[in-house]
Amino acid sequence: MLTTPASESAAREWFDRMNAELQSLNHEASQYAWDLSIQDPEEPHGESTVDGLVQLAQRKARWLEQVCAEGSHYRQYGWPYDRAYYLLCRGSRNSRQELREMARLFSFVQRIYTETEICLPAKHRCSAMLLWSDTFVRYPEHATARLDLTSVAPLPAEVLRKRSSEREMRPRELACFHGEPDLERIMLGEDRVGPQVCHGAISEETVLQWAWESWRMAVGPPMRQPYGRLIELMNAGCLRGANQRDVGECWREELEIPDLRQLVDRLWQDVKPFYQKLHAVVRHFVRRKHPESASLVGDDGLIPAHLLGGMWSHSWTGYARSILPHPVDIDRRFHRANWTAIDLVRRAEDLYASLGLERMSETFWNRSVIGNEAVVKCHGTAANMYAPSDYRMIVCPPKDDGATLQDYYVTVHEMGHIVYYMEAGKQPTIFQDGTSAAFQEAFGDAMFLAAVTPQHLVRLSLLDSKHMAPEIDEYDGFGGIADHSTLNSFDYAFLLRIALTKVPTIPFEYLMDVYRWDLFDGSVDYDQDPNRYFWYLLEGEQGIRAPSVAPRDALFDAGAGFHLSDNTPFVRYFLASFLSYQIYEGLCKGSLYGTVRENPINEIPMPLHRCDLYGSKKAGKLLRKALAPGASVHWTTVLEQLTGEADISAASMLKYYAPLIDFLDRFIDEHQLVVGWTD
């Protein structure tokens, strides 16, 4: 279609004005989010903060209505107008009244998550009975009450009777614990908080069950009713805006994958056999480590959730040393290195800079929160402030104990977001985010795989170079090692350690959105069955069960997770779990051969986990070309540039862990373990 110069000029004027106004709105929103993240936990959210967020949401809604109405006339002129219009004008449209109600409800559930504390008397005398009967909950605004045990009873009836006869009073001094990071550290088996819970003799299993159960009993019930109302409001906005049937469809649209539900189901089925093998081996060691709870791991094969690691049974690293002991414990090496928060950030920056990517700006160093400051969430964060060179990070490892491998992962991951923001920073505002949220999450995870190659661990003085060499004697690790010429015992212990951290998160990421999608579209009756359905999914797909057999219908266990209160879709993390391995393999090929295209002569000549990217300007050039367009191009274009493929696949992940999968197969055969479970 022929166009007049005047029409094209009007389209350009609309595009430039839209970008300038969007930058201002985004900057304001980023500033609110940053201020909320770093505020003193003792200071309650003021009404002015909530009102400011409501007013901003209402102003942006009015602005979107106007600018999208204008922009619809210019889509006919092609790129960049049609791409900009699509990105800007998709999604929900809530009324001003709905936006105000949503802001207040989300503020409420977020405060329940971030500010609620589980408390014990400061001079608590320890026993299983007293641990429960002396538990208090401190809610926002410091309202304190005894924990309500009536919704679920993990205790004998006599404990509940004793408790009901006590006067409802609280001690003057309480030792209190936030869910994140305090109770999470207990669940991960870290000793920084656990000793404060009990000064007497008490089993580890009892403390784990107390931390797991008390958090859910405290935060789930107050969230349940407001979250139901939030579903109604979000659905109304999606139906009105993009004519989507529910907010699940709105969320899925953002990823630009028409058959997204089918894709995630297929990816999960591709990796589930690997997960089930890990599950079978870990279950074997759960029975060994917790013999008093062996009966809880019944004939169905489901593992009690509190015995695996992490508040969501998503980190099984505590079993690594039992399954495959090795003289080199990489977690202890990190601990002994005594890295500070600034050390973490400097080493992450060095990794990215070695590829020829930009170093962090002066504004980054001046305005980031690097260290264990008084941060409410203490949640690793990367922020694009939509101002020149203003990118910020929150990194807060434990103050007194030195950094951990997990802290290093968080730092490398969050810096990946910032590097992506910087590479796309020359684009118009509408295109400055990544090509999709999944790619934003995947890039930092791919770089973490490069950050923990054995070669790079040697470079960081965390591993002796002798552990790079093949071992003369066959490593007798439950059946020996298949490939003596290339790998050694450290390779297997290392791959197991990484797998026990990353693979158990995959079904959790999968289920959190399958669960919410089914609530959003009405497949599950929210008023009747939200918690029953939640455990139906966790038992069937994750292979875990609640610690007790008491009914949980009155609870809302999904509310105990950060991303539900933060209203963040989880499928982006699920897809990133696969994309990160694909990107890493593509960068390896690009580093070695200058191309990612598949052909017989450019196969990677070493196990994938040993491909070291440090200092590779070829990999850096490949990244800059792929990241610089930001959201101006479809994600399939970026994936092809980085991997030579246009489809998200589990193949690279399974290739990365191939030696470990072989080890698991031999271990399972030797010990005649049953793989899988029945829910």
Question: Which amino acid, residue 428?
Answer: P
Measured CA angle at 268 (ends 265, 273), to 5 deg:
135
DSSP for 192-259, please give it: TTHHHH-SS---HHHHHHHHHHHHHHHHHHHHHHHHHHHHHHHHHHHHHHT--SSHHHHHHHHTT-TT
Residues 362-388 as b/e (b if ≥16 CB within 10 A, e otherwise) read eebeebbbbebeebbbbbbbbbbbbee
Percent helix, strand, coil in the chain, to 5, is 60, 5, 35
Helix (H, G, I), strand (E, B) or coil at 73: coil
Contact present, 186 and 213 (Cβ < 8 Å): no
Q: Which two tokens stand for residue 157?
A: 């009836």
- The response to whether 572 counts as a known ligand-binding position is yes
Environment class of 588 (CB within 10 Å of its CB; exposed 0-12, middle 13-18, buried 19+) = buried
Q: Is the bond preceding 195 in cis, omega lying within 30 degrees of 0?
A: no
Neighbours of 52 (CB within 10 A): 16
Contact present, 570 and 514 (Cβ < 8 Å): no
The Cβ-side half-sphere exposure at 116, using a 13 Å CA radius, reads: 29
Question: Which amino acid, residue 14?
Answer: W
288 to each of 291, 297, 305, 671, how far by Cα in Å? Answer: 6, 11, 16, 13
Q: What phi-psi label fits residue 202: left (phi over 0), alpha (psi between -120 and 50 degrees) or beta?
A: beta
Q: In which residue are the tokens 């699920």 written? A: 574
Contact present, 456 and 612 (Cβ < 8 Å): yes
Measured CA angle at 432 (ends 342, 73), to 5 deg:
165
DSSP for 141-171, please give it: GGEEEE---SS---S-HHHHHHHHHS-----
Q: In which residue are the tokens 């204008």 written? A: 70
- The response to whether 306 counts as a known ligand-binding position is no
- The response to whether 362 counts as a known ligand-binding position is no
The rounded distance, in Å, linking the Cα atoms of 317 and 310 is: 10
DSSP-assigned beta bridge partners for residue 146: 136
Provide the annotated active-site residues. Answer: 414, 563
Contact present, 614 and 459 (Cβ < 8 Å): yes
The Cβ-side half-sphere exposure at 171, using a 13 Å CA radius, reads: 15
519 to each of 110, 225, 558, 630, 645, how far by Cα in Å? Answer: 20, 13, 12, 32, 34
- The response to whether 256 counts as a known ligand-binding position is no
> How far, in whole angstroms, is CA 246 from its chain's centroid?
24
Q: Which two tokens stand for residue 292?
A: 């008093």
For 298-367, list the strands marked E by DSSP: 303-304
Feature table: binding site: 413, 417, 441, 572
Per the annotation, where are the binding residues for chloride? 572
Binding residues for Zn(2+): 413, 417, 441
